Structure formats: structure tokens, C-alpha cells
A and B are shown apart, each in its own frame.
Chain A
Amino acid sequence: MLQVNDIHTYYGHIHALKGITFYVSQGEIVTLIGANGAGKSTTLNTISGILKPRTGSVLLEGAPIHTKPAHKVTGLGVCQAPEGRKIFARLTVRENLEMGAYTRKDKAAIQEDMERVLELFPRLGERLHQPGGTLSGGEQQMLAIGRALMSRPRLLLLDEPSMGLAPLLVEQIFRIIQDINKQGTTILLVEQNAQMALAIAHRGYVLETGMIALEGTAKELREDPQVRAAYLGAT
């Protein structure tokens, strides 16, 4: 479904991604794990079109999307719930969700998806008319995921959904991510919490300093001694 070919992305003179290649197949949860600064978010933003790769290509079902601006990429069915949630603090919860469906024109289906999202996250339903900025961290994360779902993405990009949340809440959010996947959305998950990510993902890639250091199925990565030592905190 998504094929990323040898992308090199720069911030000015800083060479952030040094040739990343990976793929995501229909129906999968694929995770990118790695330490701070490994290039995980940069990779997601390159796919989203916020950053442009200097060389390499990003193909969505065979068609290049790395040449398109971010708002066009969203229209093609790739939506990101960004790192730090980035909800619109002064828009109400409902307006935030409506912004997620910005590229769509099918009003009836948008309403259906709104109901589906509220079913997924009942807490958002209680806060529908509150400004997004008044939500707690966990609720904001739910809103960010719900907002991305409102675009009815074929591929959902999640950037650190566990960041700053209590462990119980993280489990809840990851269960919901799994549910979303079972309902047919392909997911690319960027996480520092490798344990949780590898528990729900089918396959994973380990990023180190802008390169892919390791790849494999989630099970292989969970059992890999290097990964266990570096990311899972096993002794």
C-alpha cells in the first residue's frame, strides 16, 4: 500500500533521514520505533507532505505522493495524528472533528463517521461543545486520533500516541488503535514505547540516526537481544 524508497530528508544542512526504505501492506499495523532524534517523526512528516525528501520517493499504491503538498496527501487518504496531539485549542471538540473531515463532501457519511468516532471515544461525546484546549491530555489524544479518522483514511499515521499519558490510558488507547485496525484501517505507528507498539503491531522497523537499523515481524523484534536491551529495558 505504502512504499517508501530510500528517502533523504534535510532540515537545512542537517541530514535527518539517510535513506529510509520500508513498506506498509494493506490491513497491517507497522511500527517505527527508536530513540529521540532517530528520525521517526521526520519520516512521518515526509510521508504527510509537510517535509519534502531531497531524493527518494514515497508511493501510495504505486502513485508518487512525495511531490504533493500536505493538504493534497490528506485528500488521497493518508492522515496523520501528529506528535503532541496538536488539536485546535480554541475550536470545540465537534469543530475539531469536523476539521478532520475537511476534504470530504459526503455529508451523510461524515455524520456516520462522527457517530463512529464518538462510539470509539465516548468521552469526546460528553465534551462535544467544549473548546479542545480544555480537554485532558488523554482526551486530547483521543480527539487527535478521532480527528484523523474523520478523514476516513486508508492509511492512518500515528505519532507517539502514548506520549505523556498514564499507563492505564496508554493501554486503553492502544486497544482502540487495534480496534481501528481490525475495522480495516491500515496503521503506521511511531512510538518510543516499544513495548506497547510491538505488542499490537504486525511488523516493525527500528530507526537509529536516520537509518533503519533493524526490521522484522513484531515477534522477531520482541525477541531480538539488541532490541530487548536497548528499547524494552530487559536485562
Chain B
Amino acid sequence: MEATTSKKLSNRSRFNLGSIASMLVAVVVGAFIVWRVGLVITTKHYPMSLWGLQLANGLVLGGVYALLALGYTLVYGILFMINFAHGDVMMIGAYAGFFSLQWLKSQGLVETQPVFSLLFVLFVGMIVAMIVGIVLERLAYRPLRHAPRLVPLISAIGASIFLEQAALRIFGPKLRVYTKPPLIQGGWDIGSTGIFVTRTGVLIMVMSLLMMIGLYVMIQYTKVGKAMRAVAEDQQTAALMGVDVDQVIVFTFALGSFLGGAAGVMLGFHNGQVDFMVGFIPGLKAFTAAVLGGIGNVPGAMFGGVFLGLAESLGPTALGIPSQYKDVIAFSLLVLVLIFRPTGLLGEILSEKKA
């Protein structure tokens, strides 16, 4: 009895110290935001079109981050492992898309079959990324399934460096220019608002939305989706029900990498170029997005991705700082979420499961 009381007391005192520190952080961050935003509103009168442009840009970026974040969250949900090589899987997908685009162009198909060639590029990117994901699981993660949790994490970082360096050796250090097929060149003005949306942007938003809806329906209503959720909760019991756990894990990697490949091709079209490091920063960003939404939580990853995309594009303008600071904003968000809401903005999944 006495022991439990004293334990409670010590817990409370530690909580106090922690809460004072985090309150301090909250006050500083809050004051900074209020100061900067106030300054922007009172001194700089940005036209609405600028905000609209940033909004559209943020949604496009958010779609890509969300697709990529899903790969992190799906794998984490099942294996409690952060697949740090996921961004590089995306990079391989982007290269595959690039080469298939080159091939289509050499065949003259881009002009004659524009819709087909666009889907083909996307498809090749996704399939190649999927294969890389499956191979990665088999070689780098499955042998370490029962090792302590830090071990597969290190393996993932190794896999990430391996993929980057392999791409450097094979494809060379030069930037490859992703020429957009005519179908997604240009864009539209929205009315007379002065907001311009690119066709690529619309394509990315629509495709990522469709894929997210598809994924959600699959996880919620199909047999394999239910098996994924069951394995995420309790592998042993799922096996008792007749679920082949290894197969479900491979499927999860395949699915995440498939979406990652799509993100890679889309990012290639969006940025217009690809090189061997193209997966690194987006990978970290998508990881941030997954944590923002609550890692392991599928709707959370979608939300986190879009949220991060918007924060990155609107943030620098709203705070009146150069847009080069967008990475600072993204990773500051990560730190803040980890301090104030480690389970993510949506969802208590982590604490529930690991309790």
C-alpha cells in the first residue's frame, strides 16, 4: 500500500517537471507563431492567389507524402518496425518510371497512346518498387523477425544506404530529366482568382485520393485486409485462425512499396527530375507524416501526409520566412508532435497495443 503511494508520488513529481518543460516549449512556439503570423498579416498583404497557389501545391505534395507515409504505417502496424529504406524503394520506383517513359518515347507511344503510356509508366514504377519491397523483406528483415527491435531498424538503415549506393553505381550520379508527356503538361487557371493548377498536380491529387480510398476499402472489407488487421493485433492468434502470417507480412510490404512506387513516379513528374538521393528527404518527410497522424494508423498516415504537405507549403508564407525553411517546419512539427502527442494527432493505437 505504502509502496504504491510513494510510487504514485514520484510519478507525479516527474510528470510535473516534464510538464513544466513542455509547457515552456509550448509557450515559446506559440509566441513565435503568433508573432510571425501577426507580422505577416499586418505588414505584408499577400494576394489571395498566392495563398491559393500554396494551398494547391500543399495538397499535391500532401498526396505524395500520404502515399509514402502509408508504406511506413502499414509496415509499422504489423511489425513495429520503421522501414527506413522505404524512401529508397520509392526512388527505385521513380527510376523504373523514368526508364519506362524513355522507352515509350523511343517507341513513339507517348504521342500516339497518351493515356496508356501514362498508366504504363505508373504501373512499371509501382511493380518494380513492389518487387524491391518484397526482396527487401525477404533478405533484410525476415531473418531478423525475432531479433530485438533495434536490429531490424539498423538493417533498414543499411538497406537504405545500399539502395542509394546501388542506384548511384548503376544509374550514375547525374540528374535524369523526367519529361512530362503532353497529356500532363500545362494546367488551368481557376476562374479569375489567379490560381494556377498544373495538370500534373491534379493527376497526383486524384490518383493518390483514389489509391487511398482503394486501400482503405481493402483493409476494411476484404478478407486479406481483415487478416492484415488481425496479424497487426496478434500474430500468434492470427496463425491459430489459419492465417499464414509470413504471407500477410509479405503482402503488407508489397502493398506499401506498390503505393511507394506510385509516389515515386508522381514525384518524378512533379519535380521533373530524379537522381539516386531523391528518396531520402521525401522518405523522412513521409515518416514524419506517419508519426504526425499516429504511426500504425492508416487514416492517420493519410491525414498526416496532407497536413504536412500543407504545413510545408503554407507555413513559410504564413510565418513570413523564406520557403527554404520548409524542411525546418516539417521536422519541427515532428519534434512538437513527439513532445505533446507521441501517439500522433489521430489515434491512440500505439499505447493501446504496446501496453
Interface residues of A (CB under 8 A from B): 48-50, 69-71, 74-75, 79-80, 82, 86, 88-91, 95, 98-100, 102-103, 147, 151
Contact = CB atoms under 8 A, between A and B. Distances in A.
B237 interface: yes
Binding site secondary structure of chain B:
helix
Contact of B240 (A70, A91, A95, A98): A70
B238 interface: yes
Interface of B: 223, 226-227, 229-230, 233-234, 236-245, 352
B242 A90 contact: no
B234 A102 contact: no
B230 A91 contact: yes
B227 A99 contact: yes
Listed from nearest, the 6 A-B pairs whose CB atoms lie closest are A74-B242, A103-B242, A70-B239, A86-B237, A102-B242, A99-B241
Contacts of B229: 88, 90-91, 95
A99 to B, nearest CB: 5
B234 A71 contact: no
B239 A147 contact: no
Contacts of B227: 99, 102
25 contacts: A69-B244, A70-B240, A71-B239, A71-B243, A71-B244, A74-B242, A82-B240, A88-B229, A88-B233, A88-B234, A88-B237, A90-B233, A91-B226, A91-B233, A95-B226, A95-B229, A98-B226, A99-B227, A99-B238, A99-B241, A102-B227, A102-B241, A102-B242, A102-B243, A103-B242
A79 B243 CA distance: 12
Nearest to A87: B237
Contacts of B223: 98, 102
A49 B241 CA distance: 12
A74 B240 CA distance: 6
A190 B229 CA distance: 28
A146 B265 CA distance: 47
A82 B237 contact: yes
Contacts of B238: 88, 99
Given A99-B227, A102-B223, A102-B227, A89 B233 contact: yes
A88 B242 contact: no
A147 B223 CA distance: 15
Given A91-B226, A95-B226, A102-B223, A74 B233 contact: no
Among A49, A82, A88, the one with the most B-chain Cβ atoms within 10 Å of its Cβ is A88
A82 B239 CA distance: 11
Nearest to B229: A91
A71 B280 CA distance: 38
Among B223, B227, B233, B234, the one with the most A-chain Cβ atoms within 10 Å of its Cβ is B233
Contacts of A74: 239-242
A100 B226 CA distance: 11
Nearest to A96: B230
Contacts of A80: 240
Contacts of A69: 239, 244
A109 B349 CA distance: 35
Nearest to B233: A88
